[in-house]
Structure 1
């Protein structure tokens, strides 16, 4: 991993080198990119292990943008017709289904600092736990998982809980329900 904390950018990859990630800290009060990269590597590694992505899978890459409520609000309004900030948005580069061969580019994940901070406080969760959950959630979307139907939501939530358990993070759905 190399990073330049002064410019808010880092490049890192999963431990097995399967997923390369370009990290950009665009806005907000985020921790240093090196710390974000460490949490992200843990999230990716646990996800890769839980859904059994093997080393035979094609290497792929994604970008993760850490931003603020103002930026994510505009994206949510323009791309999802929801005129409010949200915690995480995922923009898959390709339409894939869970278990498909990885494309060379997975897509983008955008996370908003103020919303993550506010939700973690309201739910009385450590910031790192909530952020890790959102990174896993966004990554699963890029891998073809969704929660548009009740069945999809139950499947995705169950996978998230298993992934987070690998990281000793409690079930985030015990008190919070689902994402909007």
Structure 2
């Protein structure tokens, strides 16, 4: 089950289509979706979590807490709407496209992908692009 917790100035459209898309991404990796909570917040809230849980005193667009066990994918994905807005503007892309990229990025972390090294970042970006191309909305 995928749930969205919308705070502040975000209201998702096409929730059903987004859920179907993300579920199919998980299943295409040979995994089963159990529970993913997407929590949309602001920079300050995400910075607090970054400091408290990851000991990083930096702004970020997404933090993922992975509760997956074996092939059952479960976790929380916190997304800063402030970062998405700023990055979309800087990259000259639509807000919804940047939001979808960050959402699938969080899901990829739950699926076991990491982006600590240069090679891992390249692989993660390729996966993001591949899954973004599968959207039907």
Structure 1 Cα separation of the partners of residues 14 and 67 of structure 2: 23
> Which has a greater percent of helix?
2
1:28 and 2:2 aligned: no
Q: Which residues of structure 2 form unaligned runs of 5+?
A: none
Q: What's the offset of the Cα at 1:149?
A: 2.0
After superposition, where does 1:85-124 map in structure 2 within 5 Å?
85-94=59-68, 101-103=71-73, 106-124=74-92
Q: What's the offset of the Cα at 1:127?
A: 0.3
CA contact (8 A) 2:32 2:71 kept: yes
CA contact (8 A) 2:47 2:58 kept: yes
Structure 1 Cα separation of the partners of residues 94 and 16 of structure 2: 16
SS across alignment from 1:166: coil
- State the 4+ residue runs in structure 1 displaced beyond 6 angstroms: none
2:55 counterpart residue number: 81
Output one character per residue of 1:115-152: Cα deviation in whole Å (capped at 9) or x when no partner. 11111111110000000000000011011111112222
Q: Which residues of structure 1 form unaligned runs of 5+?
A: 1-19, 170-180
SS across alignment from 2:113: coil
Q: What's the offset of the Cα at 1:52?
A: 4.0
Structure 1 or 2, whichever has the larger Rg, is 1
1:149 and 2:117 aligned: yes
Question: Given the two structures, how large is their TM-score scaled by the length of structure 2?
Answer: 0.85
Structure 2 Cα separation of the partners of residues 139 and 101 of structure 1: 13
Structure 1 Cα separation of the partners of residues 126 and 32 of structure 2: 26
Q: What's the offset of the Cα at 1:41?
A: 1.9
Structure 2 Cα separation of the partners of residues 59 and 43 of structure 1: 12
1:167 and 2:107 aligned: no
Question: Given the two structures, how large is their TM-score scaled by the length of structure 1?
Answer: 0.67
